[in-house]
Structure 1
Amino acid sequence: MAGRLSTISEGSTDLDDFTAAYPPCDFYRGSIRRVAVSGGLIRSTLFSQYGYGSTVSSYSSQSGASSYPSNNSGYSGLAHAATGARALCDLELREIARRMIRDRYTQRIVQEFEDAPSDALGRWFSELDVDWVLQIREGCGLRELEAGRSESSFQDFVERWIRALAIIVLSMRELHLMTIGEPTSAATARFGKASILAMLVFVDAIVIPAAPKGHGPGDRLWALLNMYVCISDASSFKWSGSRRPIPLETQSIIDEINGSLSAEENKLNGAIFSTMEEIKTFMEEEDSWAAEIPRGGGEVHRNTQFIVDCVVLIRSAVLNYHFENLRALLHDTTDYLKDLLWRKSKLCSDQSLRYLFLLNNSCFITQQLESTKLIAWVQNHWELPPESKKYIDCYFEVSWAHVLSCISESNLGPLRRWNNGSSLARFLSAFDRIYKLQKFWKVPSPELRRMMRKTITERVIAGYREYLEEHPELEKRIIFGNTTPDELEEMLGELFEG
């Protein structure tokens, strides 16, 4: 047939031709599945908790604490989203695409597509491990698709789609360069267009607001960003590379492909922004704040962990892939989280716990958003974030200031007549009460924990020492009561261990 790609290479035997044209079923699929690439952004485990992502929960709302492994900052929680290899740059996927062409498998599929488009596309997609994409095109929704493929998770579908799209683009470009100026050039372009347009149907299944049951905005944000990275790469992919002129028909088809990819890229960009708005709405309406701040002892709230995880994903796209259009979303989300924490902290009736909550959460945000290269420096030269310096002063005022006032007031003007022994008793009683109340409150960050202990010690214990120096007659009472400044300072060293 004129215009078809030859399936027979010069000097080959009939057996060679048969093997090249008809490789065993799933000959390439196993290799494709083993490629560990997810479009560039590795999925964090945080989206799997509390309805933000899948239904598997690693958070126990009964205990008010998370079960995440500890990281270097001392906080339990975030399994950092990180950058990985972009799918179109992945060496394993490139090699698979080239092997398909060397084996002449891709040429055979392109040839079959000219006679039987549906059959060829079905065989091609099955080998690429995305035959289910064609079911979506035929009207099967993602929810029905998952129900029929219980062995595949939402994340699995997205990763398989990314690998397949990468191989389609890579192999079509390779084949396009081989056939420029030949009659088969347009056939390759037509097949590439049909493959890519069929793949893009999955984008619509992801961007729609009504996500499949069990998949919240966290799962969708992860999918959107990963697919955005992949389609952005594909839309900017250079089909040229040869000095030979591209036939007008072929160029027209390539322009249509690029136009479709750009449209989907814009669609994904809009969906990323709308998903973050959906997350904000959910956070405003989520009713666990008032109950769980006290229950969790002021620790890092799971909502904080979740939004930070979103920020890390977005930041990875901005910094590593230079998506400047997402930079404003990154800053807006970070500012929103800080404002959200301030507003939600007002729901806590215990003001000491409120400011401990603000300290833990604000420091968590700062430390988790530090560049990995700065972590060691941060640990050695750690300072409180600007807003936390205010929070620690507020915490001291509502927790320990009145303890210190028990002895400082005895030296003020008309209050001199107060019995010094009574002032000391009130001081020790107030100290003991606050100490017992807060001893098991937890500050996960070692740096913040040391800072808070130091602040309390420098203000309370220093004031206590001055008081005793001014009232030496109380020295015996202090010694026999096991309440010397050194002993109280040692007690403060046990605070906030949880």
Structure 2
Amino acid sequence: MLDFVDAVVDAALDDDQAAAEALPGMLQVYTCVVDDSPAVLTLFKESSFTTSMFDAMNGIFLRKRSKLSDAIWGMMEVVRASFLTNDCWRVSPASAGGVHKTTRLVMIYVMLLWRNEGALNLVLQDQQHRFRMFLSEHHDYCSSSVADLIKKMISSSEKQLEKASNFISDPGLRYIFLMNNFSFISEKFSSLLLPPFEGYKIERSRGSRERLHPMEDGVNQPDPSIRAEIETDSNLDGFIKIQSFMEAYLDASWEPVMSCLYHDIPRGFLKCGRALDRFILEFQRTCATQRMWKVPNPELRKRLRKAIIEKVISGYNQYLTQRLARGKSNRPAMSTPLELEELIEELFEG
């Protein structure tokens, strides 16, 4: 077995391109060495062999373990570095709607790390002097070094996603891209049952007149439909970001539609008779475009549609009410609120 260790390590170190594929096997070999060495050493200790023989055998096992540890850490560094290149996060028109391929690969890698937490904790102990750069400053949130490594990996990936999204020309699609990827990460992260990620703390000492930031208010007094998700999502920081992306998406995609009805809220709705026509045309154009956008997560898709309905349909109803009050209802509206809502329910199917 010990000769086999040398063979697999040499083979792994010869091919950086295969680091990701070879890493699971290397972790299995490392686990075997760690698990089997105590039993083998016990045989030497209980036999008539001299202490020097036992020490020599123990030294061999330690060197093989160290060699495997160095190889595994080197392979992990290769994989980590590959996820930091801009090329792998490049966004094509096809990947703008949906979950980016690299996001999926990162989470597959994260799940591999967590499944091998026991072995990796030993590897990280062997590599303490190299691992210090990855240790979180907030030790209260996580006592597991593997979990810290995972959280650093996810945080880095989220930054890469935000940077990559800047190359998407349509601002609405940019936020859809971010929501798709962040929700995928959050869902996978939560399934690992890790300790909370970047514990989100809200300042409680504000004055009574100071208004909460919308995102903070959403956590303190959440919509009942998402309360359970807030309470159970270990990646609360990711959830908060998704909510902020949703607000930005509504402003980018639907505020221009609503602006057909009004200049700004304090000045009230436009008196121009063509405002309604322009609103309907812009609404239909936006729906036609976004019907082709893909939101694979059904819960996120449902939340997005609900948010659009609350923003657009409520504003449309308000416009029709004021129009009626001003005696501008001499002709029926081109579309009823229910008809517009039905169009919204068709969005994001891809």
Give the match for residue 247 of structure 2. Answer: 393
For 1:367 and 1:279, how far apart are their aligned partners in 2? 22
SS at match of 1:285: coil
**Counterpart residue number, 2:133:** none
**Alpha-carbon shift at residue 371 of structure 1 (Å):** 2.9
TM-score, normalisation: structure 2: 0.72
**Equivalent residue for 2:310, pick from 434, 458, 462:** 458
Equivalent position SS for 1:409: strand
5+ residue gaps, structure 2: 123-143, 195-224, 231-237
Contact 2:113 2:146 in 1 (8 A): yes
Among 203, 215, 228, the alignment partner of 1:381 is: 228
Q: Is the 8 A contact 1:290 1:348 kept in 2?
A: no
Displacement of 1:380 in angstroms is: 9.7
**1:247 aligns with one of 44, 48, 61:** 48
Counterpart pick for 2:23 among 205, 213, 221: 221
Q: How does 1:23-422 map to 2 (within 5 A)?
A: 196-208=1-13, 210-211=15-16, 216-237=18-39, 239-240=41-42, 245-249=46-50, 252-285=52-85, 287=87, 289-292=89-92, 294-318=93-117, 323=122, 324=144, 326-371=146-191, 381-383=228-230, 385-409=239-263, 412-413=266-267, 418-422=270-274
Q: CA deviation at 1:322?
A: 5.7
8 Å CA contact retained: 2:91, 2:164: no
> Structure 2 CA distance, aligned partners of 1:320 and 1:280?
18
The one-letter amino acid paired with 2:94 is R
Q: Distance in 2 between matches of 1:475 and 1:256?
A: 96
Of structures 1 and 2, the larger Rg is shown by 1
- 1:297 deviates by 3.8
Q: Deviation of residue 431 (structure 1)?
A: 1.0
Q: Tell me the residue number matched to 1:436.
A: 288
CA contact (8 A) 1:299 1:442 kept: yes
Is the partner of 1:488 in helix, strand or coil? helix
Q: CA RMSD in A?
A: 3.1
Cα distance change, pair 393–235 in 1 and its aligned pair in 2 (3 A): farther
Query: Cα distance 1:320–1:200, how it changes in 2: closer, same or farther (>3 A)?
Result: closer
Gaps of 5+ in 1: 1-195
- Return the alpha-carbon distance in structure 2 between the equivalents of residues 485 and 322 of structure 1: 57
Residue 333 of structure 1 deviates from its aligned partner by 1.3
Matches of 1:325 and 1:206, distance apart in 2 = 28
TM-superposed deviation, 1:391: 1.1
Partner Cα separation in structure 1 for residue 153 and residue 252 of structure 2: 30
Deviation at 1:325, TM superposition (A): 5.0
Greater than 6 Å deviation, 4+ residue runs:
none
* Cα shift at 1:426: 1.9
User: Aligned pair in 2 of structure 1 residues 256, 434: CA closer, same or farther (>3 Å)?
Assistant: farther
The alignment partner of 2:98 has SS state of coil
Change (3 A) 1:200 1:216: closer
Contact 1:299 1:361 in 2 (8 A): yes
Is the partner of 1:248 in helix, strand or coil? coil
Whole-angstrom distance in 2 between the partners of 1:230 and 1:286: 37
> Residues of 1 paired with 2:159 and 2:264: CA distance?
41
TM-score (norm 1): 0.52
Cα deviation for residue 209 of structure 1 reads: 5.1
Residues 419-452 of structure 1, C-alpha deviations (whole Å, 9 max, x = no match):
3422212211221111111102111111111111
Change over 3 Å in CA distance of 1:284–1:333 after alignment to 2:
closer
Matched-pair contact (CA < 8 Å) for 1:300–1:357: yes
Number of paired residues? Answer: 290
Displacement of 1:367: 0.8
Distance 1:256 1:206, change over 3 A: farther
Distance 1:268 1:402, change over 3 A: farther
User: Is the partner of 2:317 in helix, strand or coil?
Assistant: helix
Contact 2:114–2:192 (CA under 8 A) maintained in structure 1: no
**In percent, how many aligned pairs have the same letter?**
30
The answer to whether the Cα contact below 8 Å between 1:457 and 1:489 also exists between their aligned partners in 2 is yes
Aligned counterpart, 1:427: 279
Tell me which amino acid in the other structure corresponds to 2:180.
N
Q: State the distance in 1 between where 2:331 and 2:90 align.
A: 44
